[in-house]
Amino acid sequence: MSSPFKRIGVLGAGAMGRGIVQLYSQAGFEVVLHDAQAAAMEAAIKYLQQTFDKLVEKGRMTDDARQQALARVTCADSMQGFADCDLVIEAIIERIEVKREVFCTLESVVSSEAILVSNTSSLSITAIAAACERPSLIAGYHFFNPVPLMKVVEVVRAPRTDDAVVERLVALTRAVGHTPVVCQDTPGFIVNHAGRGFGTESLKALGEGVADVPTIDRILREQVDFGGMGFKLGPFELMDLTGLDVSHLVMESIYHQYYEEPRFRPSVIGAQRVSAGLFGRKTREGFYRYDGSPAPSESGAPVAPTGLRVWVAPGAQQQAVRELVAGLGASLDDADQPLSDSLIVVTPLGLDATSAAQGLDAARVIALDTLFPFGLRACKRRVLMSTPATSSETRKAAHGLFAADGAKVSLLRDSSGFIAQRVIAMIVSVATEIAQQRIASPEDIDSAVRIGLGYPVGPLTMGDMIGPARILEVLNGMHRSSDDPRYRAGPWLRRRAQLGLSLLQED
Ligand SMILES: NC(=O)c1ccc[n+]([C@@H]2O[C@H](COP(=O)([O-])OP(=O)(O)OC[C@H]3O[C@@H](n4cnc5c(N)ncnc54)[C@H](O)[C@@H]3O)[C@@H](O)[C@H]2O)c1
């Protein structure tokens, strides 16, 4: 393993800088901190003292370790203070012209072997390095907030970055117990690039009127199930937490940086809500209100009519759905074609209920999402979708039936792909494109997204758990029925689905 660094400089004492100082000083490294604002440095030192005090109180740090960690941090009046550092981590304002200038100054201060890295979230490392005399010693080093708790760091390789620089940053990251993920210098690196599927597709479905905000959030929190784990927050809850002013800007930035790639096309809803100042928690109103008003409630399920008979359309899940229906107390219609008064259940993948209802009496058709476990007492939430012709009696009867074992039920308007199908397929689609472009290894894509975004499993593992062929079927269905190129499946996914390989399989 390459040698660790002896003295680490941190430029910028804001939210990220102070977290980085905490991480390295606690791990035993000498750290020099500088910020253009003396007050910011003072505040950072106070923050460190308070944080270490709390750790000592909780018994997670000894008093001695606290003293030593604090003694390892020095503040410098100017960038000259970095002269003896063999690594400087820049975490200042996100403006390219300021960063370029600062990197030139840093180069003139440090030794000719010192490594300079930027914690930028959205700027090009290549563009920062281009202004420098030693671009081979410059890389991106992207932490997540809060630094000590978010245990993943993107090590960003620009075209002229030395391999040895990447190796040393990887070793340093491991030395402090974080997971390093190596990626090429591309817009959004791994995490902000891969994170586009979740919110963007949810906004697209909202824009189509498929369901309202709380329904989409509930589905993604409660229907999605990867080995018992789901998303901790729905997409709109998450956007309210991050702030739509930040999230929408990232969506627009990635979309434009990838030359208007349709997969990343942001929603007009996002732009409009940003103009209205509905940023989320920070403005006390976003997709939800944070002024003490009650959270939106969900209406209870009606009682299923007695004597209900159900015909289940042929398909891969026909037998499992028939078992469920029988377990829920309805009788089964075993005829080849539905009898005249049977409720008709279809199970489309990527298609809408209308397409699945072709040749059937659409007034009696209801679609059930079978992407995640849906069996008797085996799921928290089932999701149904109706055609524009489905009668209200059919909707009510199906709602009552599929809630009869205590599962919650969400009812969608017609959509090419149910909410979970659309969102999960897009998350997998974007991640497979990142793999195809060799921005990072499949393993690094998976760990970066799982740790950085708190997903239950990485996006490629999500695809493997559902099955690459099923994800492909969802995307192909959505693409065919919408004609929208955002749903086109890329070659990484298509080839692995065709060959029956894992999405983690490199070639
Ligand atoms: N906040 C996050 O969640 C997050 C996550 C990952 C990466 N980042 C990136 O980290 C960097 C810093 O973000 P932050 O949230 O800590 O910002 P911040 O506003 O909290 O702190 C920035 C600090 O930099 C100082 N500064 C500005 N210009 C300077 C200069 N020319 N020289 C010295 N100091 C200067 C400011 O005084 C301030 O204390 C940005 O590039 C941002 O994109 C932020």
Which atom of ligand 1 is least distant from the CA of 37? Answer: 37
Confidence of residue 342 (pLDDT cuts 50, 70, 90): very high
298 lines ligand 1 (CB under 6 A): no
Average pLDDT over residues 265-276: 97
Indicate whether residue 133 lines ligand 1 (CB < 6 A). no
Strands of the 152-157 sheet, one edge to the other: 73-75, 30-34, 7-11, 87-90, 115-118, 138-142, 152-157, 179-184
Q: Which CATH architecture has domain 309-412?
A: 3-Layer(aba) Sandwich (3.40)
Surface-to-core class of residue 396, CB atoms within 10 Å of its CB (0-12 exposed, 13-18 middle, 19+ buried): middle
Sign of CA dihedral 272, 192, 147, 40: negative
Output the six-digit token pair for 472: 């492909």
Distance CA 465, CA 220 (A): 16
Q: Is 145 in the pocket of ligand 1 (CB under 6 A)?
A: yes
Q: What is the mean pLDDT of residues 358-386?
A: 97
Q: How confident is the model at residue 401 (pLDDT cuts 50, 70, 90)?
A: very high
Confirm or reject CATH 3.30.420.40 for domain 7-185, answering yes or no: no
Which tokens is 492 given? 């990484």
CA atoms of 357 and 344, how far apart (whole Å): 9
> Going by CA atoms, what residue is nearest to atom 41 of ligand 1?
120
User: In this structure, which long-range contacts are made by residues 286-289, counting pairs with CB atoms below 8 Å and at least 24 apart in sequence?
Assistant: 286/236, 286/239, 286/240, 286/243, 286/244, 287/213, 287/236, 287/237, 287/239, 287/240, 288/213, 288/236, 288/237, 288/240
> Which atom of ligand 1 is nearest the CA belonging to 17?
16
Which whole-number Å values give the CA distances from 384 to 317, 408, 418, 423, in the listed order? 15, 11, 8, 16
C-beta 140 within 6 A of ligand 1? no
Residue with tokens 């065709």: 498
Q: Where do we find the tokens 């760091």?
A: 153
Which residue's alpha carbon is at the smallest distance from atom 6 of ligand 1?
A: 144
Given a cut of 90, whether residue 3 has pLDDT beyond it is no
For the Cβ of 14 lying below 6 angstroms from any atom of ligand 1, the answer is yes
Distance 91 CA to ligand 1 centre (A): 5
Q: What is the pLDDT of residues 62-96, one digit of tens each?
A: 999 999 999 999 999 999 999 999 999 999 999 99
Structural contact between residues 371 and 470, judged by C-beta atoms closer than 8 angstroms: yes
249 Cβ closer than 6 Å to some ligand 1 atom: no
Structure tokens at 116: 């300079």
Mean pLDDT throughout 368-374?
Answer: 98
**In 10 A of CB 280, how many CB atoms?**
24
- Please name the residue whose Cα sits nearest to atom 26 of ligand 1: 92
How many Å apart are CA 79 and CA 9, to the nearest integer? 9
Residue nearest to atom 18 of ligand 1 (CA): 14
Helices (H), 58-162: 63-71, 96-109, 125-130
Q: Is the pLDDT of residue 318 over 70?
A: yes
Q: What is the pLDDT of residue 2?
A: 53
CA distances from 119 to 110, 126, 309 (A): 18, 13, 61
pLDDT single digits (tens) 8-49: 999 999 999 999 999 999 999 999 999 999 999 999 999 999
CA of 93 from ligand 1 middle (Å) equals 4
| Ranges for all domains in the chain classified under CATH 3.40.50.720 | 7-185, 309-412
Q: How many separate helices (H) and strands (E) can be counted in the chain?
A: 20, 14
User: Ligand 1: which of 93, 99, 192, 249 to mutate, judged by most atoms within 8 Å of the beta carbon?
Assistant: 93
Tell me, what amino acid is at 65?
A
The reported pLDDT for the residue numbered 277 is: 98
Distance 86 CA to ligand 1 centre (A): 21
CA of 12 from ligand 1 middle (Å) equals: 6
pTM to 2 decimals? 0.95
- Positive or negative, the CA dihedral 356, 360, 362, 365 is negative
User: Does 403 score more than 60 pLDDT?
Assistant: yes
What backbone torsions phi and psi does residue 236 show, to the nearest 5 degrees? Answer: -80, -35
From the CA of 122, give the closest atom in ligand 1: 43
- pLDDT tens by residue, 419-430: 999 999 999 999
CATH number for 193-283 (one of 1.10.3720.10, 1.10.1040.50, 3.40.190.10, 3.40.462.20): it is 1.10.1040.50
pLDDT at 4: 78
pLDDT digits (tens, 9 = 90+) for 432-487: 999 999 999 999 999 999 999 999 999 999 999 999 999 999 999 999 989 999 99
Atom 15 of ligand 1: nearest residue by CA position: 15
What mean pLDDT value characterizes the chain? Answer: 97
Angle, to 10 degrees, between the axis of helix 38-57 and the axis of helix 15-26? 50
- Residue 176: which of 384, 326, 19 has the closest Cα? 19
Taking CA atoms only, the protein residue closest to ligand 1 atom 10 is 91
DSSP-assigned letter for residue 80: G
Ligand 1 contacts CB of residue 425 (under 6 A) = no
pLDDT band at 1 (very low <50, low <70, confident <90, very high): very low
Report the separation in Å between the CA atom of 470 and the middle of ligand 1, taken as the mean of its atom positions: 43
Is the distance from the beta carbon of residue 13 to the nearest atom of ligand 1 less than 6 Å? yes
Cα distances from 260 to residues 104, 251, 254, 266, 480, in angstroms, run: 33, 11, 9, 10, 21
Cα–Cα distance for residue pair 66/50, rounded to 1 Å: 10
Asked whether residue 334 carries a pLDDT value surpassing 70, the answer given is: yes
For ligand 1, atom 30, the nearest C-alpha belongs to: 36
Q: Where in the chain is the domain with CATH 1.10.1040.50?
A: 193-283
Is residue 375 lining ligand 1, measured as CB closer than 6 Å?
A: no
Averaged over 313-333, what is the pLDDT? 97
> 41, 90, 92: which to mutate for ligand 1, most atoms within 8 A of CB?
92
Q: Determine the Cα–Cα distance for residues 435 and 432; give it in Å rounded to an integer.
A: 5
Instruction: Answer yes or no: is the C-beta of 187 below 6 A from any ligand 1 atom.
Output: no
Burial of 127: CB neighbours in 10 Å, binned 0-12, 13-18, 19+ = middle
Query: CA-CA distance, 52 to 286, in Å (whole number)?
Result: 35
Find the 94 Cα to ligand 1 centroid distance in Å: 7
pLDDT range class, residue 225, cuts 50, 70, 90:
very high
Decide: 91 in ligand 1 pocket, CB within 6 A.
Answer: yes
DSSP string computed for 134-155: -GGGEEEEE--SSTTTS-EEEE
Q: Is the CB of 16 under 6 A from ligand 1?
A: yes
Which residues are catalytic, by number? 121, 142, 154, 192
